[in-house]
């Protein structure tokens, strides 16, 4: 890829934006008021804003390998606190994707160096749901299900934070688990039943 193309694209993008709204960048410079925090995978095929059709200023975005929310990761935890408590978003989304290489690596025996502790979080998801996953014979179906269960457990990690527990008490606030299907381009709402899941574990994680 010729990097000079990126700067040409940027000039074209500026012209395109100004054609429809002469004040576009002036308005952007006034501040942001996003209503959604999106946590997704860094995978170059899963572009957050493009697949959602959202405009600059609408979605606060955090991406890392396999859309993880590790409890001790200062980066994702800071993003959650800033988005939920300061920007006051009403929705937090964890968006996984089928054929995620991070999830695939966690299903294999592979020494990935500094990535090992990161991927171990996904192995922990596998252990939590081992009975369900072991019952799936088809390898691709098992892989896809682990992607979904990983999204679910990262959503639960979000609900363990005090910022999110406060937001649930104070206002209309929802955590969502989605999956992007690279094969079709479709964004799928997993419609995770958090009430059912949290009923069983909230007595452990409630801190507010």
Q: What are the residues binding Co ion (CB under 5 A)? A: 41, 43, 100, 102
Told to judge if 145 belongs to the known catalytic residues of this protein, a careful annotator would answer: no
In the bound complex, what is the minimum distance in angstroms from residue 91's beta carbon to Co ion? 21
Identify the burial level of 202 via C-beta atoms within 10 angstroms of its C-beta, where 0-12 means exposed, 13-18 middle and 19 or more buried.
Answer: middle
By beta-carbon proximity to Co ion, the closer residue of 42 and 55 is: 42
Told to judge if 181 belongs to the known catalytic residues of this protein, a careful annotator would answer: no
By beta-carbon proximity to Co ion, the closer residue of 80 and 95 is: 95
Closest CA to 66 of 147, 123, 153: 147
Q: How many CB atoms lie within 10 A of CB 76?
A: 22
In the bound complex, what is the minimum distance in angstroms from residue 13's beta carbon to Co ion? 26
By beta-carbon proximity to Co ion, the closer residue of 34 and 102 is: 102
In the bound complex, what is the minimum distance in angstroms from residue 97's beta carbon to Co ion? 5
In the bound complex, what is the minimum distance in angstroms from residue 98's beta carbon to Co ion? 9
Q: Which letter, b or e, does each residue of 134-167 get, where b requires 16 or more Cβ atoms within 10 Å of its Cβ?
A: eeeeeeeebbbbbbbbbbbbbbbbbbbbebbbeb
The counts of H helices and E strands in the chain are: 10, 5
By beta-carbon proximity to Co ion, the closer residue of 43 and 148 is: 43
Told to judge if 45 belongs to the known catalytic residues of this protein, a careful annotator would answer: yes
Told to judge if 95 belongs to the known catalytic residues of this protein, a careful annotator would answer: no
Q: Which of 8, 23, 45, 170 is catalytic?
A: 45
Per the rule left: phi > 0, alpha: psi between -120 and 50, beta: everything else, 53 is left
Told to judge if 41 belongs to the known catalytic residues of this protein, a careful annotator would answer: yes
* Catalytic residue annotation: 41, 43, 45, 97, 100
């Amino acid at each position: 890829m010729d990097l000079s193309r990126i700067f040409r694209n940027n000039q074209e993008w500026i012209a395109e934006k100004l054609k429809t709204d002469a004040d576009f960048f002036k308005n952007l410079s006034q501040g942001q008021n996003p209503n959604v925090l999106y946590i997704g995978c860094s995978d170059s095929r899963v572009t957050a804003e493009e697949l959602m059709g959202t405009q600059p200023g609408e979605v606060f975005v955090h991406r890392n390998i396999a859309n993880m929310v590790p409890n001790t990761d200062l980066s994702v935890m800071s993003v959650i606190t800033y988005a939920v408590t300061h920007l006051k978003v009403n929705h937090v989304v964890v968006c996984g994707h089928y054929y995620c290489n991070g999830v695939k690596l966690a299903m294999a025996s592979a020494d990935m160096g500094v990535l090992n502790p990161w991927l171990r979080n996904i192995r922990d998801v596998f252990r939590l749901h081992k009975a369900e996953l072991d019952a799936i014979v088809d390898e691709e179906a098992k892989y896809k299900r682990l992607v979904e269960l990983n999204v679910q457990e990262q959503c639960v990690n979000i609900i363990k934070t005090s910022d999110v527990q406060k937001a649930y008490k104070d206002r209309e606030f929802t955590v969502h688990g989605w999956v992007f299907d690279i094969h079709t381009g479709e964004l799928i709402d997993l419609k995770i039943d958090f009430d059912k899941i949290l009923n069983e574990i909230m007595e452990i994680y409630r801190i507010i």
